[in-house]
């Protein structure tokens, strides 16, 4: 059941990425929603599920991106695994630690992804520091907000139920 949820989350992230990406001008801060999903799943489910989610999401993203299939998959697998280990070894329950994990995961992803392309002499990225930093901040903000929303939702439902019960009395 959980794996179905993860597949749906990755599919929704991809659909949003391809739909919203049209309206984001090139060169501006671009959020990688798929990476956000991978890190989120890794933090909540551990390294095993995290790396499998990274593998699945990365391979699908590679196949859709005129890309060498496997480079994005490898990068997201490593990020999913490492984020999963962080999630099990440390308490990542506050916004600041989560922000740092999402930020670090994006930087690690960029290093592996761009490093492999440059190592294989397939692409050159120049000096993408500002772009990577911008994407890391964007991903971190989206990731932290996603955690907040998911954690607030059950509470909001409970509050609404109790409010209704009070009104009926």
Partner 1 sequence: MTLLHLRQRSGYLFLGVMLGHILLISAQVNSRSGVPVLEAVTFGIFSEIQRGVSTGVSGARGVWGGYVGLRNLKSENDALKRQLAAAEVAAQEQRAQVDRVRSLEQLLELRDRSNLQTAAAEIIGAAASPDFRTVTINKGTRDGLRPDMSVIAPAGVVGRIVVPSARAAKVQLLIDRNAAVGAIVERSRAQGVIVGSGDERLRMEYVSEVFDVVAGDLIVTSGIDGIYPKGFAIGRVETVEKSGSAYKRITVKPAVDFSALENVLVVLTPTAAREAAQGPSQ
Residue numbers of the site for partner 1 (CB under 8 A)?
A: 2, 11, 14-15, 17-27, 30-32, 34, 45-49, 51-52, 55, 60-74, 77-78, 81, 84, 113, 116, 120, 122-126, 128, 131, 135
- Cα(104)–Cα(135) distance, integer angstroms: 11
Instruction: Tell me the closest approach of the beta carbon of residue 134 to partner 1, in angstroms.
Output: 10
Query: If residue 159 lies in a helix (H) or strand (E), which one and from where to where?
Result: helix 129-168
Residue 143 CB, nearest distance to partner 1 (Å)?
15
Cβ atoms within 10 A of the Cβ of 114, count? 18
Q: Between the CA of residue 77 and those of 56, 73, 140, what are the distances in Å?
A: 8, 6, 18
Q: How far apart are CB 63 and partner 1 at their closest, in Å? A: 4
Nearer to partner 1 (CB atom), residue 55 or residue 103: 55
């Amino acid at each position: 059941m959980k794996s179905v949820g993860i597949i749906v989350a990755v599919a929704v992230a991809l659909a949003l990425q391809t739909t919203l990406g049209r309206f984001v001008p090139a060169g501006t801060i671009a959020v990688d929603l798929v990476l956000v999903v991978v890190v989120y799943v890794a933090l909540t489910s551990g390294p095993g599920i995290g790396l499998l989610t990274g593998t699945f999401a990365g391979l699908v993203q590679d196949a859709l991106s005129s890309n060498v299939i496997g480079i994005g998959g490898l990068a997201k697998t490593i990020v999913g695994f490492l984020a999963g280990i962080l999630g099990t070894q440390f308490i990542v329950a506050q916004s600041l630690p989560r922000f740092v994990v999402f930020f670090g995961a994006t930087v690690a992803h960029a290093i592996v992804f761009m490093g492999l392309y440059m190592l294989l002499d397939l692409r050159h990225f120049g000096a993408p520091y500002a772009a990577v930093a911008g994407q890391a901040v964007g991903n971190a903000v989206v990731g932290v907000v996603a955690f907040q929303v998911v954690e607030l939702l059950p509470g909001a439902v409970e509050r609404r139920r109790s409010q209704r019960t009070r009104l009926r009395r």
